[in-house]
Amino acid sequence: MRVFLNGFGRIGRSVLRAWALAPGRWPGLEIVGINDIAAPEMCAYLFEFDSVFGPWRGSVSLEPGLLVVDGRPLPLMRVSDLSLLDLRGVDVVMECTGRADSLEVAGRGRAAGAQRILVSGPSAAAEVTVVLGANEAVLRDQRIVSNASCTTNALAPLVRLLDSHWGVVTGSMVTIHCYTGSQPTVDAPAADFSRSRAAALSMVPTTTSAQRLLDQVLPGVAGRIGGSAVRVPTASVSAVDLCVMLERAVTVTAVNAAFRTAAQALNAVIGATDQALVSSDLRSRPESVVMACPETRLTRGGMLRVFGWYDNEWGFSNRMLDVAALMA
């Protein structure tokens, strides 16, 4: 499978790092090119030196029209309209610009000759939204596919596990989310008043698309799970704090046993830990969510509370590669 990266920001660079670090995990999947509007020198610099994941341990250099990573030459283009390129022979364009909400933008890779598009976020242009561990069975021959959001990738497999074992009646989720590039470093005007405030100085209550996307991905529980978000002053790793009422009786021991069993699967999307970890300990974990078993609680009234960590960049980028491989 030949994959082309359109957009070399946080997700595009993380996808390339994950693929280059573990080429055997996605046999037959090859990244064959990159497009970004930034200068090639900036693309190479930001790939080599990363404030979250650290410096690249191999070699990074530029040649005319090429980004060379560990001796592997990757064509590096710089166009604002992907449809201007010749992408015949490309199986999947990973659309990582964050701007592919419209069919006109999302379809540019197809116009350039690529077979299919995988969007790194919610997209109204997508024919289907796929979350590994939740609804990957719906993936067929759709041409434009959304990989949902990082929070949905953490939440949906968790809800599916709980619903399949005990039946979810209702619940509420809060994602405790690190700040992102959509927030300013100093107070600045924005459409959302709370998101106009300096990202690294305050906890910011805001919304999340995960509730809406969860209803799409798991229609059997549509309308049962509410969701909100709090952006916090950390640069990486987020968490889901989920409280649910279940149809069948449950114990903390049984829930944690289900988490540990899920974590034993090959290339698991749900991980589990019994250690007292903090967010920085979960950096670069490839799972969609890592359940903190010591945080599982059950009230006398039967409400279950579970808590899971997720590296919203690294885990999501691993899912991009997983879903692209499934699209083959």
102 has a pLDDT exceeding 90: yes
23 has a pLDDT exceeding 90: no
**Domains in the chain, ordered, with CATH?**
2-126 (3.40.50.720), 150-312 (3.30.360.10)
293-304 average pLDDT score: 97
Containing 104, the helix (H) or strand (E) segment is helix 103-106
121-134 average pLDDT score: 97
The pLDDT, as a whole number, for residue 42 is 98
How do the residues of the chain divide into helix, strand and coil, expressed in percent and rounded to 5? Answer: 30, 25, 40
Please, what is the average pLDDT of the chain?
97
261 has a pLDDT exceeding 90: yes
328 has a pLDDT exceeding 90: no
The pLDDT, as a whole number, for residue 78 is 98
What span, in angstroms and rounded, lies between the C-alpha atoms of 127 and 295? 37
The pLDDT, as a whole number, for residue 79 is 98
For the chain, what percent of residues have pLDDT higher than 70?
100
Q: Which residues are the active-site residues?
A: 150
Q: Answer yes or no: are the C-beta atoms of 274 and 293 closer than 8 Å.
A: yes
5 has a pLDDT exceeding 90: yes
The pLDDT, as a whole number, for residue 43 is 98
180-194 average pLDDT score: 95
